[in-house]
């Protein structure tokens, strides 16, 4: 790889791409209006859960499953470059049911898992209560999906930034960023501090990907912010050991005892306020399933913006402008999909592979694209 790459957006997606490219010998600069690893990358719960999310889209599910398989090695690479630990746990995700209809729905999920060869435990009331005694006495049964889990996404963001720097990536703050291109190809980016030339520019701006100025309309992905409010409780360490889905809320533990409660799903533009209704709904649903949490202190509340797309698939790969790539629109699964996205985008930039990105291209909007392998190699 002999050209400079600019990644716009220092979230987990942008940082993972930069880390991967730098490992393959590219000179990479990352620009962001904020600190690295923030926005949705910081606000999420870090669940690594393609089956729990019950992704119906086969292409997206396949990418999620592949990404889940890549996670341990990805974390190991980032750990050895940064010296930091992101607390990866893949001990399963628990789903709890409180009535017959919810139990039936878990059994249907279990049938789909069996057809795919995914291992799980269907739990009757007594085995669920004995493994998760903090759950309410109204619980009637549950399901534990093996192999899924979570990573501390805030730690992963700090770690990826450090790993990028260790590999020679420049991470720069810019209060404004605009892409510059001629009619055929990308030239670089112009920030408030000047022009940076690049052979390739990757739009990894998450929920802001459609706001990035400069490219023609045919290169702008239809991404919109989908707000998620969350809060954290201070619970005894290891009280809740695995992420647990309750009706209307999920709980995700942290090694320091924080217990995250998430998340709302709202179309509210770029508003990131935490509302009374949002907090009330999350706590109501969490305490309905687990009244034993009621006495724990609420230590934090926040909101983030998932990058949503009309069909739920991310936009990954080439655009009509040679050298301008997209890596955005990961909606509920950005943390999970970061390593797979990074690998595929790096392959594309090296002029190899990329077929797996076909379902995620702009072509599904009717956009005419150049031959990816011929036009993006740097």
Under rule CB under 6 A, residue 47 binds ligand GLY: yes
Residue 64 Cβ vs ligand GLY, minimum distance, rounded to whole Å: 11
Q: Which is nearer to ligand GLY, 55 or 181 (CB)?
A: 55
Write the DSSP symbol of residue 277. Answer: H
Nearer to ligand GLY, 253 or 354 (CB): 253
Residues sharing a CB contact under 8 Å with residue 350, sequence separation 6 or more, in sequence order: 1, 24, 377, 378
Of 128 and 303, nearer to ligand GLY (C-beta) is: 303
At its nearest, how many Å lie between ligand GLY and the CB of residue 45?
Answer: 6
How would you classify the pairing of strands 200-203 and 324-328?
parallel
* Nearest-approach distance from CB 218 to ligand GLY, in angstroms: 29
Q: Could you tell me the smallest distance in angstroms from the CB atom of residue 149 to ligand GLY?
A: 13
Distance separating alpha carbons of residues 299 and 232, to the nearest angstrom: 6
By beta-carbon proximity to ligand GLY, the closer residue of 332 and 343 is 332
Q: Which DSSP category does 3 fall into? A: S
Q: Quote the least distance from Cβ 312 to ligand GLY, whole Å.
A: 12
Residues 218, 366: Cα–Cα separation, whole Å: 10
| Residue among 337 and 346 whose Cβ is closer to ligand GLY | 337
Of 290, 201, 312, 247, nearest to 95 by C-alpha is 247
Whole-angstrom distance, CA of residue 10 vs CA of residue 130: 42
What x-and-dash track marks residues 212-241 binding ligand GLY by CB under 6 A? Answer: ----------------x-------------
Site residues for ligand GLY, 256-315, by CB under 6 A, read: 262-263, 306
Q: How far is the CB of 296 from ligand GLY (least distance, A)?
A: 21
Query: How far is CA 66 from each of CA 16, 109, 242, 338, rounded to the nearest angstrom?
Result: 16, 20, 21, 11
Asked if 254 touches ligand GLY (CB under 6 A), the answer is no
Of 128, 332, 356, 361, the one binding ligand GLY (CB under 6 A) is 332
Number of residues that bind ligand GLY (CB under 6 A): 7
- Closer CB to ligand GLY, 187 or 226, in the complex: 226
Under the binding rule (CB under 6 A), the answer on residue 207 touching ligand GLY is no
162 binds ligand GLY (CB under 6 A): no
List of residues 6+ apart from 112 with CB closer than 8 A? none
Tell me how far apart the alpha carbons of residues 291 and 282 are, in angstroms, rounded to a whole number: 13
Strand order from edge to edge, sheet including 4-8: 170-173, 27-32, 4-8, 200-203, 324-328, 315-318
CB of 29 or CB of 332, closer to ligand GLY: 332
- The CB-of-211 to ligand GLY minimum distance in angstroms stands at 21
What residues pair up with 232 in beta bridges, in sequence order?
260, 300
- Which one, of 88, 48, 41, lies nearest residue 68 by Cα? 48
Q: How far apart are CA 211 and CA 111, in angstroms?
A: 42
- Residue 29 phi, psi dihedral angles, 5° rounding: -125, 135
- Report in angstroms how near the CB of residue 273 gets to ligand GLY at its nearest: 17
Residue 181 or 233 with smaller CB distance to ligand GLY: 233
The rounded Cα 107 to chain-centroid distance in angstroms is: 27
* Residues that bind ligand GLY in the complex, under the rule CB under 6 A: 45, 47, 228, 262-263, 306, 332
């Amino acid at each position: 790889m002999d050209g400079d790459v600019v990644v716009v957006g220092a979230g987990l997606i942008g940082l993972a791409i930069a880390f991967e490219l730098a490992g393959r010998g590219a000179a990479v600069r990352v620009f962001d209006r904020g600190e690295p690893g923030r926005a949705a990358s910081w606000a999420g719960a870090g669940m690594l859960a393609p089956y729990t999310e019950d992704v119906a889209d086969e292409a997206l599910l396949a990418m999620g499953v592949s990404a889940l398989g890549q996670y341990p090695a990805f974390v190991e690479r980032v750990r050895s470059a940064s010296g930091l630990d992101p607390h990866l746990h893949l001990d399963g995700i628990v789903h709890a049911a409180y009535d017959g209809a919810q139990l039936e729905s878990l059994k249907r999920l279990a049938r789909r898992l069996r057809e795919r060869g995914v291992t799980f435990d269907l739990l009757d009331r007594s085995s669920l209560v004995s493994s998760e005694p903090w759950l309410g006495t109204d619980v009637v049964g549950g399901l534990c999906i093996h192999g899924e889990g979570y990573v501390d996404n805030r730690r992963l963001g700090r770690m990826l930034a450090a790993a990028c720097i260790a590999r020679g990536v420049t991470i720069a703050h810019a209060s404004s960023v605009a892409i510059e291109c001629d009619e055929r190809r990308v030239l670089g980016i112009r920030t408030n501090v000047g022009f940076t030339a690049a052979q390739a520019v990757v739009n990894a701006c998450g929920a802001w990907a459609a706001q990035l100025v400069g490219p023609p309309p045919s290169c702008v992905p239809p991404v919109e912010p989908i707000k998620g409010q969350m809060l954290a409780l201070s619970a005894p360490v290891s009280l809740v050991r695995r992420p647990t889905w309750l009706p209307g809320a999920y709980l995700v533990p942290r090694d320091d005892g924080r217990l995250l409660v998430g998340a709302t799903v709202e179309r509210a533009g770029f508003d990131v306020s935490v509302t009374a209704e949002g907090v009330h709904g999350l706590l109501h649903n969490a305490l309905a399933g687990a009244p034993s949490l009621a006495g724990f202190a609420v230590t934090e509340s926040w909101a983030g913006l998932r990058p949503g797309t009309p069909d739920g698939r991310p936009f990954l790969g080439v655009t009509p402008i040679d050298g301008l790539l997209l890596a955005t629109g990961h909606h509920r699964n950005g943390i999970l999909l970061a390593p797979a996205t990074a690998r595929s985008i790096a392959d594309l930039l090296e002029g190899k592979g990329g077929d797996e990105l076909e379902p995620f291209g702009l072509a599904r909007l009717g956009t005419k694209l150049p031959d990816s392998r011929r036009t993006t190699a740097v």
